[in-house]
Amino acid sequence: MFVGHYSVAFAAKSDKNKIPLWVLFIAVQFLDYMWATLVLLGIEKLRVIKGFTAGSMLDSYFHPYSHSLIAAVIWSSVAGIGYKPLCDWLGYAYRKSAALIVGLTVFSHWILDLIAHPRDLAIYGNKWKVGFGLLNYRDPEFALEIGLLAAGIMLYLTRNVMPEIRKGAVIAFGVVLVVIQIGNTYVPRTPLTDKATAMGVWVFYTLFVVVAFLIEKIGSRRQTNAP
Protein backbone atom coordinates (compact mmCIF):
# COMPACT_ATOMS: atom_id res chain seq x y z
CA MET A 1 0.00 0.00 0.00
CA PHE A 2 1.35 3.43 -0.92
CA VAL A 3 -0.85 6.49 -1.55
CA GLY A 4 -3.89 4.65 -0.12
CA HIS A 5 -2.40 5.27 3.34
CA TYR A 6 -2.97 9.01 2.89
CA SER A 7 -6.73 8.44 2.60
CA VAL A 8 -6.77 7.91 6.36
CA ALA A 9 -4.87 11.16 6.96
CA PHE A 10 -7.39 13.13 4.90
CA ALA A 11 -10.36 11.32 6.45
CA ALA A 12 -9.14 11.75 10.04
CA LYS A 13 -8.91 15.54 9.91
CA SER A 14 -11.89 17.56 11.06
CA ASP A 15 -12.53 21.12 12.16
CA LYS A 16 -13.32 19.66 15.58
CA ASN A 17 -10.15 17.66 16.23
CA LYS A 18 -7.92 20.31 14.57
CA ILE A 19 -5.11 17.82 14.00
CA PRO A 20 -2.78 19.38 11.44
CA LEU A 21 -2.84 17.46 8.15
CA TRP A 22 0.97 17.24 8.13
CA VAL A 23 0.91 15.45 11.51
CA LEU A 24 -1.58 12.95 10.08
CA PHE A 25 0.65 12.53 7.02
CA ILE A 26 3.48 11.46 9.31
CA ALA A 27 1.11 9.31 11.39
CA VAL A 28 -0.20 7.22 8.47
CA GLN A 29 3.38 6.45 7.40
CA PHE A 30 4.92 6.31 10.86
CA LEU A 31 5.58 2.56 10.57
CA ASP A 32 7.23 3.04 7.17
CA TYR A 33 9.40 5.86 8.56
CA MET A 34 10.56 3.42 11.26
CA TRP A 35 11.02 0.74 8.62
CA ALA A 36 13.06 2.94 6.25
CA THR A 37 15.23 4.10 9.14
CA LEU A 38 15.86 0.55 10.36
CA VAL A 39 16.63 -0.63 6.79
CA LEU A 40 19.15 2.22 6.47
CA LEU A 41 20.70 1.12 9.77
CA GLY A 42 20.85 -2.47 8.51
CA ILE A 43 18.59 -3.70 11.33
CA GLU A 44 15.56 -4.58 9.20
CA LYS A 45 16.01 -6.41 5.91
CA LEU A 46 14.65 -5.69 2.46
CA ARG A 47 15.22 -7.23 -0.97
CA VAL A 48 14.16 -5.35 -4.09
CA ILE A 49 13.20 -7.95 -6.71
CA LYS A 50 11.66 -7.22 -10.08
CA GLY A 51 8.20 -8.81 -10.22
CA PHE A 52 8.23 -9.91 -6.57
CA THR A 53 4.50 -9.21 -6.52
CA ALA A 54 2.50 -7.87 -9.47
CA GLY A 55 2.23 -4.45 -7.83
CA SER A 56 5.52 -4.07 -5.94
CA MET A 57 9.20 -5.03 -6.03
CA LEU A 58 9.65 -4.99 -2.27
CA ASP A 59 10.38 -8.21 -0.44
CA SER A 60 10.42 -6.95 3.11
CA TYR A 61 11.34 -10.27 4.67
CA PHE A 62 12.50 -9.07 8.09
CA HIS A 63 10.77 -6.07 9.67
CA PRO A 64 9.73 -7.12 13.18
CA TYR A 65 10.37 -3.74 14.85
CA SER A 66 8.37 -1.64 12.41
CA HIS A 67 5.72 -3.95 10.95
CA SER A 68 4.82 -6.74 13.37
CA LEU A 69 1.36 -6.40 14.90
CA ILE A 70 2.80 -5.95 18.37
CA ALA A 71 5.24 -3.30 17.11
CA ALA A 72 2.37 -1.51 15.35
CA VAL A 73 0.38 -1.41 18.60
CA ILE A 74 3.41 -0.08 20.49
CA TRP A 75 4.25 2.61 17.90
CA SER A 76 0.59 3.66 17.73
CA SER A 77 0.55 4.09 21.51
CA VAL A 78 3.82 6.03 21.45
CA ALA A 79 2.43 8.35 18.77
CA GLY A 80 -0.85 8.84 20.65
CA ILE A 81 0.99 9.66 23.86
CA GLY A 82 3.52 11.84 22.02
CA TYR A 83 0.83 14.02 20.47
CA LYS A 84 0.34 16.14 23.59
CA PRO A 85 4.01 17.12 24.01
CA LEU A 86 4.09 17.86 20.26
CA CYS A 87 1.07 20.18 20.59
CA ASP A 88 2.57 21.86 23.67
CA TRP A 89 5.83 22.38 21.83
CA LEU A 90 4.31 23.79 18.65
CA GLY A 91 1.47 25.67 20.33
CA TYR A 92 -1.29 23.64 18.68
CA ALA A 93 -4.73 23.11 20.19
CA TYR A 94 -4.85 19.76 22.00
CA ARG A 95 -7.72 17.37 22.71
CA LYS A 96 -7.52 13.95 24.30
CA SER A 97 -9.77 12.56 21.56
CA ALA A 98 -7.32 13.92 18.97
CA ALA A 99 -4.47 11.95 20.59
CA LEU A 100 -6.59 8.81 20.24
CA ILE A 101 -7.21 9.61 16.59
CA VAL A 102 -3.47 10.10 15.97
CA GLY A 103 -2.79 6.70 17.58
CA LEU A 104 -5.47 4.98 15.49
CA THR A 105 -4.17 6.72 12.37
CA VAL A 106 -0.72 5.22 12.98
CA PHE A 107 -2.35 1.81 13.44
CA SER A 108 -4.34 2.16 10.21
CA HIS A 109 -1.05 1.65 8.35
CA TRP A 110 -0.84 -1.93 9.59
CA ILE A 111 -4.43 -2.72 8.62
CA LEU A 112 -3.97 -1.39 5.07
CA ASP A 113 -0.62 -3.18 4.76
CA LEU A 114 -2.37 -6.36 5.95
CA ILE A 115 -4.73 -6.13 2.97
CA ALA A 116 -2.01 -5.34 0.44
CA HIS A 117 1.12 -7.19 1.54
CA PRO A 118 1.99 -10.76 0.72
CA ARG A 119 2.33 -12.86 3.86
CA ASP A 120 5.20 -10.85 5.39
CA LEU A 121 3.62 -9.13 8.41
CA ALA A 122 4.51 -10.94 11.62
CA ILE A 123 2.21 -10.94 14.62
CA TYR A 124 5.17 -10.80 16.97
CA GLY A 125 8.91 -10.66 16.20
CA ASN A 126 9.42 -12.49 12.92
CA LYS A 127 6.78 -15.16 13.63
CA TRP A 128 3.24 -16.03 12.49
CA LYS A 129 3.21 -14.02 9.29
CA VAL A 130 0.00 -12.71 7.76
CA GLY A 131 -0.97 -10.65 4.72
CA PHE A 132 -3.90 -10.97 2.31
CA GLY A 133 -1.64 -10.32 -0.69
CA LEU A 134 -3.74 -7.91 -2.75
CA LEU A 135 -0.42 -6.76 -4.28
CA ASN A 136 -0.44 -10.03 -6.23
CA TYR A 137 -3.33 -8.52 -8.23
CA ARG A 138 -2.03 -5.34 -9.78
CA ASP A 139 -5.20 -3.64 -11.05
CA PRO A 140 -7.42 -4.35 -8.02
CA GLU A 141 -4.65 -3.17 -5.69
CA PHE A 142 -4.22 0.01 -7.73
CA ALA A 143 -7.99 0.54 -7.76
CA LEU A 144 -8.14 0.17 -3.98
CA GLU A 145 -5.33 2.72 -3.47
CA ILE A 146 -7.03 5.28 -5.70
CA GLY A 147 -10.55 4.55 -4.40
CA LEU A 148 -9.42 5.00 -0.80
CA LEU A 149 -7.53 8.19 -1.60
CA ALA A 150 -10.50 9.70 -3.44
CA ALA A 151 -12.87 8.83 -0.58
CA GLY A 152 -10.44 10.29 1.99
CA ILE A 153 -10.06 13.54 0.08
CA MET A 154 -13.85 13.82 -0.36
CA LEU A 155 -14.30 13.46 3.39
CA TYR A 156 -11.58 16.04 4.03
CA LEU A 157 -13.27 18.53 1.72
CA THR A 158 -16.72 18.02 3.22
CA ARG A 159 -15.74 17.91 6.92
CA ASN A 160 -13.50 20.98 6.90
CA VAL A 161 -14.39 24.55 6.13
CA MET A 162 -11.78 26.10 3.85
CA PRO A 163 -11.37 28.70 1.14
CA GLU A 164 -11.97 27.61 -2.46
CA ILE A 165 -8.31 28.08 -3.38
CA ARG A 166 -7.29 25.50 -0.77
CA LYS A 167 -9.92 23.06 -2.02
CA GLY A 168 -8.36 23.36 -5.47
CA ALA A 169 -4.88 22.77 -4.05
CA VAL A 170 -6.07 19.66 -2.17
CA ILE A 171 -7.58 18.23 -5.35
CA ALA A 172 -4.41 19.04 -7.32
CA PHE A 173 -2.34 17.30 -4.63
CA GLY A 174 -4.66 14.30 -4.91
CA VAL A 175 -4.10 14.20 -8.67
CA VAL A 176 -0.31 14.32 -8.14
CA LEU A 177 -0.55 11.41 -5.70
CA VAL A 178 -2.56 9.42 -8.27
CA VAL A 179 0.10 10.11 -10.92
CA ILE A 180 2.82 8.97 -8.51
CA GLN A 181 0.86 5.80 -7.81
CA ILE A 182 0.48 5.14 -11.55
CA GLY A 183 4.25 5.47 -11.89
CA ASN A 184 4.82 3.21 -8.90
CA THR A 185 2.43 0.49 -10.06
CA TYR A 186 2.73 0.52 -13.84
CA VAL A 187 5.99 2.10 -15.01
CA PRO A 188 8.72 -0.53 -15.26
CA ARG A 189 12.03 0.46 -13.73
CA THR A 190 15.23 -1.15 -12.59
CA PRO A 191 15.20 -2.14 -8.93
CA LEU A 192 17.08 0.16 -6.60
CA THR A 193 19.20 -1.16 -3.75
CA ASP A 194 17.54 -1.66 -0.37
CA LYS A 195 19.24 1.43 1.07
CA ALA A 196 18.35 3.64 -1.92
CA THR A 197 14.73 2.47 -1.63
CA ALA A 198 14.69 3.39 2.07
CA MET A 199 16.22 6.81 1.29
CA GLY A 200 13.54 7.30 -1.37
CA VAL A 201 10.85 6.54 1.20
CA TRP A 202 12.27 9.21 3.53
CA VAL A 203 12.57 11.81 0.78
CA PHE A 204 9.17 11.28 -0.84
CA TYR A 205 7.16 10.83 2.34
CA THR A 206 8.73 13.94 3.82
CA LEU A 207 8.02 15.89 0.64
CA PHE A 208 4.34 14.91 1.01
CA VAL A 209 4.40 16.05 4.66
CA VAL A 210 5.74 19.45 3.58
CA VAL A 211 3.02 19.76 0.93
CA ALA A 212 0.36 18.83 3.52
CA PHE A 213 1.76 21.54 5.83
CA LEU A 214 1.75 24.17 3.10
CA ILE A 215 -1.72 23.26 1.85
CA GLU A 216 -3.29 24.09 5.20
CA LYS A 217 -1.59 27.51 5.08
CA ILE A 218 -3.16 28.41 1.75
CA GLY A 219 -5.74 31.13 2.17
CA SER A 220 -5.65 30.89 5.98
CA ARG A 221 -4.91 34.59 6.50
CA ARG A 222 -7.69 35.60 4.15
CA GLN A 223 -10.08 33.34 6.03
CA THR A 224 -9.29 34.81 9.46
CA ASN A 225 -9.57 38.34 8.13
CA ALA A 226 -12.96 37.68 6.58
CA PRO A 227 -15.84 39.55 8.27
* Sign of torsion over alpha carbons 68, 70, 71, 77: positive
In this chain, which stretch among 8-16, 19-27, 31-39, 96-104 interacts with Zn ion, using CB under 5 A? 31-39
Identify which of residues 58 and 162 has a Cβ nearer to Zn ion in the complex.
58
In this chain, which stretch among 74-82, 106-114, 145-153, 196-204 interacts with Zn ion, using CB under 5 A? 106-114
Binding of residue 44 to Zn ion (CB under 5 A)? no
Q: How distant, in Å, are the alpha carbons of 14, 28, 96, 129 from that of 3?
A: 20, 10, 28, 24
Identify which of residues 168 and 200 has a Cβ nearer to Zn ion in the complex.
200
CB of 200 to Zn ion, least distance (A): 14
Question: Residue 122 pairs with which residues in a beta bridge?
Answer: 129
Residues 6+ apart with CB under 8 A from 75: 30, 31, 34, 66, 106
CB of 173 to Zn ion, least distance (A): 21
d(CA 112, CA 8): 10
Binding of residue 113 to Zn ion (CB under 5 A)? yes
CB of 151 to Zn ion, least distance (A): 20
d(CA 43, CA 195): 11
Task: Give helix 21-28 / helix 194-215 axis angle, nearest 10°.
Answer: 160
d(CA 107, CA 121): 13
CB of 225 to Zn ion, least distance (A): 41
Identify which of residues 19 and 31 has a Cβ nearer to Zn ion in the complex.
31
Binding of residue 32 to Zn ion (CB under 5 A)? yes
Identify which of residues 98 and 208 has a Cβ nearer to Zn ion in the complex.
208
Size of the site for Zn ion (CB under 5 A): 2
Q: Collapse the DSSP code of 15 into the 3-class scheme (helix H, G, I; strand E, B; otherwise coil) and give the result.
A: coil
Binding of residue 141 to Zn ion (CB under 5 A)? no
Contacts with Zn ion, residue ranges (CB under 5 A): 32, 113
